[in-house]
Structure 1
Amino acid sequence: MVTAWFVLAMGADRTHGGNDGYDDDPARHYSWDSTVPQHANLAEGDVIALWDKKKLLGISVIERIDRGSEVKTTYFHPACNKASFKPLKTGDQRWWCAKCRERFNEPGTRTKPVTTYRSHHSRAWQDLHGRLTGAQIRALCDQPRSQHAMRPARWEKIHAALLDAGAPVPTGATEGARAVIRGGHRTATVETRVGQAAFRERLLQEQGEACAFSGPTPSAALEAAHLYSYAKTGEHHEFGGLLLRRDLHRLFDLGHIAVNPDTTTLDVSEAIRNHPLYGQLHGQQLPLQLHPQHRVWLGAHWDKHRPDA
């Protein structure tokens, strides 16, 4: 069973004053700490679906989770010692306490050490802004009445609801991302062992006569490049290949050229950067629009050849 999580990303629209909030960028990363229920249960390879109480923002797969520690400041209403208070937009007082229903200006403060977490999930991100409503999301959670910021759910139910809503969410892309991130391989969603010629023909139909790194190129000069080790799997994975010039294909396989999965820019190693033909590619944006699954495979290649980047 695929583990999935609905997580709240409120940004500047937070309605309470109990803490300072978190630095979230829904398409790239999500932050929380050990004061949040379920805080230690999310893992690399889990599906993460971000929403803002009103609507779905998008889904992805967790690539990694950074852990740290800090001293956190929390706030409370001094009269009742509760943190359930909200900002006021009118009047002389700044806050309104939902517990004792009083208005007040200055909250009390306390500090405590916490473990911090930040998930990174940009490579498989799929923008699905508004495809599901807040009510639909609550119904999909394992515990629909939960008020927690992190709520487990079944990916199969989420996927079915997105398809019903007309969202273009291929289940294979998410499953493939999970397999790559966890170091495994999934069953190919296209024919396996169909041969390199057929694989190349499919890429030409999808991507046209263009090198993914350098732009328009005659088809005779293009090769079908796997973004993973075909020799280990014998499978042609969907969105697992790009068309490349023969020289760029070889340099990519050797790791001299890599694609930064966060910026989709080319990184040319210092060993060959002094060659004008290749040095001019360094820092250039890919001319090809990537599918999220391409970004996952390219991310695995990046992590292998640029581990310190």
Structure 2
Amino acid sequence: MTAWLMLAKDGSKRIGEGYDDNPATHYSWDDTVPNHAAVKVGDVIALWDATELLGLSVIEDIGLGQAEKKTPYCLKCRKADVAERKKKLPRFVCWNSECKHESDEAGWKDKKVITYRSRHEAGWIPARGTLMAPELRALCVKPKSQNSLRELRWHDFQQALAHGSVPLPLRIIDTAHQTIQSGHGTATIRVRKGQPAFRKQLLDTFGEVCAFTGPAPIQALEAAHLYSYAANGKHHKGGGLLLRRDLHRLFDLGLIAVNSNTKTLHLADGLKAFPDYAKLHGASLAVSVTPDHIRWLNQHWAMHRAATDTDLLT
């Protein structure tokens, strides 16, 4: 599996406008960026802000386009290797090793570029607090690289995430990769299209009730899809429950699952260290569910507890 560390930080991708990033859903770059064409559908995308890892996912789609952008160049050597300083003066410095010219001004020219935009919302796993900048740089194929797109040593990166101080469940990444590689479309975890209507339908069915904990303020309730992968992206019958926002995220990650035989909650051992969550382990669902719900809950269980009924996510 190929993995890329991509910088997602305002003003970090040299000078120029037109980048459109939302770490949890999409990331954009163009053909002025080294490695721009090496990134493929099915690759792992790991986004950081130059300080820490923000999260990771699998690229479901890469949209191509064309645009014009203003690019800077050095007024001395005329090459487009200019960086803008945020604090130190002079404002611009040439990165050309044979030039290194510093100036308060830079030249600008219009350039046609090919644009790339990844879509990767499906398997997104938030990861703040797991790996910091020095660790991430060390896990790159070229640790001293300054590029915005850097290839990671996937196996070492995976091990660092699985065995760090804040271990992450990576089964979602593996399943998303396998699904994409097999040629099946993914709509996974949170299908945004039609989400308001889906939530209203669940509120009409269950009322203002979190399926895991009971009555809750409507502002805290989200429409949670019980299935992780749906080829057509539709909101399936019996495929949703209302969950408190924090429980929704933990359910998506597989840290909470539902044993459909007993209709009780099963928590990853890591959650049991937190008293408010620990008391949910073994608790019964707070709502009545249909055979359709059970079918989707079984699929969620198979994805996150497939190998054994013991907790695999510790």
- CA distance, structure 2, for counterparts of residue 42 and residue 89 of structure 1: 33
Aligned residue for 1:86?
Answer: 84
Aligned residue for 2:274?
Answer: none
CA displacement at 1:21 relative to structure 2: 6.1
After TM superposition, the score normalised by the length of structure 2 is: 0.58
> For this pair of structures, how many residues does the alignment match?
213
CA displacement at 1:27 relative to structure 2: 1.5
1:48·1:62 contact (CA, 8 Å) conserved in 2? yes
1:138·1:145 contact (CA, 8 Å) conserved in 2? yes
Letter in 1 for 2:42: G
- CA distance, structure 1, for counterparts of residue 155 and residue 263 of structure 2: 29
Distance 1:239 1:36, change over 3 A: farther
CA displacement at 1:42 relative to structure 2: 1.4
CA displacement at 1:5 relative to structure 2: 0.8
Aligned residue for 1:119?
Answer: 118
- CA distance, structure 2, for counterparts of residue 144 and residue 200 of structure 1: 46
CA displacement at 1:67 relative to structure 2: 0.9
After TM superposition, the score normalised by the length of structure 1 is: 0.59
Aligned residue for 2:261?
Answer: 201
1:6·1:152 contact (CA, 8 Å) conserved in 2? yes
2:60 matches 1:63: yes
Letter in 2 for 1:74: T
Letter in 1 for 2:132: T
Letter in 1 for 2:260: R
Aligned residue for 2:28?
Answer: 31
**Aligned with residue 51 of structure 2, among 37, 49, 54:** 54
- CA distance, structure 2, for counterparts of residue 239 and residue 46 of structure 1: 24
Letter in 1 for 2:167: P
CA displacement at 1:31 relative to structure 2: 0.5
Letter in 2 for 1:225: R
CA displacement at 1:154 relative to structure 2: 2.8
- CA distance, structure 2, for counterparts of residue 182 and residue 69 of structure 1: 27
**Aligned with residue 69 of structure 2, among 69, 72, 78:** 72
**Aligned with residue 218 of structure 1, among 275, 280, 288:** 288
CA displacement at 1:68 relative to structure 2: 0.8
Deviations 1:216-268 (A, max 9, x none): 5235777412389x8xxxx933379xxxxxxxxxxxxxxxxxxxxxxxxxxxx
Deviations 1:28-58 (A, max 9, x none): 1111111222111212221111112222111
CA displacement at 1:166 relative to structure 2: 2.2
Alignment root-mean-square deviation, CA: 3.3
Letter in 1 for 2:303: H
Which stretch has the larger CA shift, 161-170 or 45-54? 161-170
Structure 1, unpaired ranges of 5+? 186-197, 211-215, 241-309
2:260·2:297 contact (CA, 8 Å) conserved in 1? no
- CA distance, structure 1, for counterparts of residue 262 and residue 172 of structure 2: 18
- CA distance, structure 2, for counterparts of residue 11 and residue 239 of structure 1: 39
Q: Match of 1:237, SS? A: helix
Aligned residue for 1:236?
Answer: 302
Distance 1:177 1:202, change over 3 A: farther
Q: Percent identity?
A: 36
Aligned residue for 2:219?
Answer: none
2:174 matches 1:104: no
Aligned residue for 1:161?
Answer: 160
